[in-house]
Amino acid sequence: MTREGAQAAPSGDARSEPQARERPPRWIDSHAHVTAREFDADRDDALARAFAGGVDALIAIGAGYGVEANAEAVALAARDDRVWAAVGVHPHDAALLDDAGRAKLAGWLAAPRVVAVGECGLDYFYMHSPRDVQQRVFAEQLGLARERGLPVVIHVRSEDESAYEHLLAIWNAEGGGALRGVLHCYTGSLAFAKRALDRGLEVSFSGILTFKKDRGLREVARALPLERLLVETDAPLLAPEGQRGRRNEPAWVAKVGEVLASVQGRPVDEVAAVTSANARRLFGLSECTDLRGAA
């Protein structure tokens, strides 16, 4: 804006206040499968929309599309300084992990900008791999995280509480409070979430929090401490209310954060700042991710 002839504003106030208010909240999408096929046609555009629309950084999850898919997440993180990668074996793929896969996993985990192991865990809902194999491969990945001092991105799903109970038992047996991690796309009970927080886990909410039929999830989100919460899209899945049925994308992580702010009765700016700080702390991300802006 230029206003020729206007008198110089008194130094100070005309600058700082309006600008501070107009700056959109800045989010971190703590879980996005941006290397999935669904983004092949417009991956760069989808990332550009996210970064232009308030996303400071995202964690690219390689797991979930076969063991090999991790390589693409590592490569994407290497070429964009706003992207970090998590590398692991999804419970669906647990039965696919063999020695060749283990060797590749070790190599990817040593790559720069790989900040977490996962997503890994237990999924008794789809049961694409047998339970005992899922449990063994989950425990194995907790061992990798422990050896490398990395946090763990955890997936858990079952009709009843069984996967949750088995998951926490394995977590405790493999180091529990000495490990760090996040239960991603949380849809479990409040009681379980509290037990998980006590054992050093954080909780992340996805677009499910925005659904009209949220099955009580907003009550869970209301009762948990914001200082232990993250937000995510889990894109390309789980597009938020208003976009359901479409491909999800990282730009829409703000919709999750806005609902979290409303259920917690806090300003959106505060929820953006606190969840972003939580993600940075958990994944060890540097404070200034967009160095281009500082140049």
Enumerate binding residues for Zn ion (CB under 5 A): 119, 155, 234
Q: Exposed (0-12), middle (13-18) or buried (19+): which is 131, by Cβ within 10 Å? A: middle
Contact 223, 195 (CB under 8 A): no
CA dihedral 85, 177, 163, 72 (to 10 degrees): 10
- Residue 202: how many CB atoms within 10 A of its CB? 26
Shortest distance, CB of residue 232 to Zn ion, whole angstroms?
8
Contacts for 46 with CB less than 8 Å, ≥ 6 apart: 34, 39, 249, 250, 251
CB of 234 to Zn ion, least distance (A): 5
Least distance (Å) between residue 69 CB and Zn ion: 11
Q: Between residues 221 and 261, which has the closer beta carbon with respect to Zn ion?
A: 221
Using the minimum distance from each CB to Zn ion, give the nearer residue, 29 or 56: 29
- Other C-beta atoms closer than 10 Å to the C-beta of 48 total 12
Q: Cβ closer to Zn ion: 69 or 105?
A: 69
Closest-by-Cβ residue to Zn ion is 155
Task: State the minimum distance, in angstroms, from the CB of residue 33 to Zn ion.
Answer: 6
Minimum distance from residue 213 beta carbon to Zn ion (Å):
20
Q: Identify whether the C-beta of residue 261 lies closer than 8 Å to the C-beta of residue 270.
A: yes
Let me know: does 108 contact 89? Beta carbons within 8 Å: no
- Kindly state the smallest distance separating residue 230's Cβ from Zn ion, in Å: 13
Q: CA-to-CA distance for 285 and 294, rounded, in angstroms?
A: 17
Cβ proximity to Zn ion, 31 vs 264, nearer residue: 31
Q: Give the residue from 4, 74, 7, 91 showing the smallest Cα distance to 35.
A: 74
Residue 123's alpha-carbon distances to 36, 213, 223, 229, 293, in angstroms, are: 20, 22, 25, 22, 41
**Closest C-alpha to 38, from 68, 69, 15, 16:** 69
Q: Which is nearer to Zn ion, 64 or 257 (CB)?
A: 64
CB of 29 to Zn ion, least distance (A): 11
**Closest CB to Zn ion among residues 261, 282:** 282
Residue closer to Zn ion by CB (options 25, 166) is 166
Structure tokens at 288: 């200034």
User: Which class for 203: exposed (0-12), middle (13-18), buried (19 or more C-beta within 10 A)?
Assistant: buried
Q: How far is the CB of 13 from Zn ion (least distance, A)?
A: 46
Comparing CB distances to Zn ion, the nearer of 56 and 119 is 119
